[in-house]
């Protein structure tokens, strides 16, 4: 039975963990990039509205200045709902967990593990995925029926 486990399960898990870790890491990068982009847009809109109001006098219509001035408030609303930085951190934490699992799986693949060790490794993988799913649903999902909770 141990040979069957080594031939099938361990190599599959050894490939799965680093692939998953890289997927989560890439998603974390995308969320951080979106968060930074939102911040840059907010700052530029705030500065632009102020500079237009101060420097142009009546050359720029007031509704344009008002619209540009509303962008930071809209950005704050978007950020509080989407929780981009928190989601990026969640993805990076998942990536770290998968890296640790990957090292464990590589260790198991290099040896002849007992079925109990393989079962424990699979249990750790399952536990990691359950905790990650629970963390997402408890803290990072959209909540329209109650106010967003501070982290």
Predicted confidence band of residue 119 (pLDDT cuts 50, 70, 90)? confident
Alpha carbon dihedral 18, 20, 22, 25, in 10-degree steps, equals -130
From 37-46, 62-71, 85-94, 109-118, the region with the lowest mean pLDDT: 109-118
Contacts of 53 (CB under 8 A, 6+ apart): 65, 69
Query: What pTM did the predictor assign?
Result: 0.76
First to last CA, the chain: 47
- Distance CA(137)–CA(78), nearest Å, equals 19
Q: Which of the listed ranges 93-102, 104-113, 138-147 does the model predict with the highest average pLDDT? A: 93-102
């Amino acid at each position: 039975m141990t040979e069957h486990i080594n031939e099938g399960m361990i190599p599959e898990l050894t490939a799965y963990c680093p692939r998953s870790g890289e997927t989560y890491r890439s998603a974390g990068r995308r969320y951080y990039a979106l968060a930074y982009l939102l911040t840059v847009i907010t700052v530029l809109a705030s500065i632009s509205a102020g500079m237009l109001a101060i420097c142009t006098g009546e050359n720029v219509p007031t509704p344009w200045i008002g619209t540009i001035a509303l962008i930071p408030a809209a950005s704050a609303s978007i950020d509080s709902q989407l929780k981009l930085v928190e989601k990026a951190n969640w993805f990076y934490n998942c990536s770290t967990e998968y890296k640790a699992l990957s090292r464990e799986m590589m260790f198991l693949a290099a040896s002849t593990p007992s079925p109990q060790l393989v079962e424990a490794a699979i249990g750790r993988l399952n536990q990691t995925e359950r905790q990650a799913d629970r963390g997402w649903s408890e803290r990072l999902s959209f909540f329209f029926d109650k106010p967003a909770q501070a982290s």
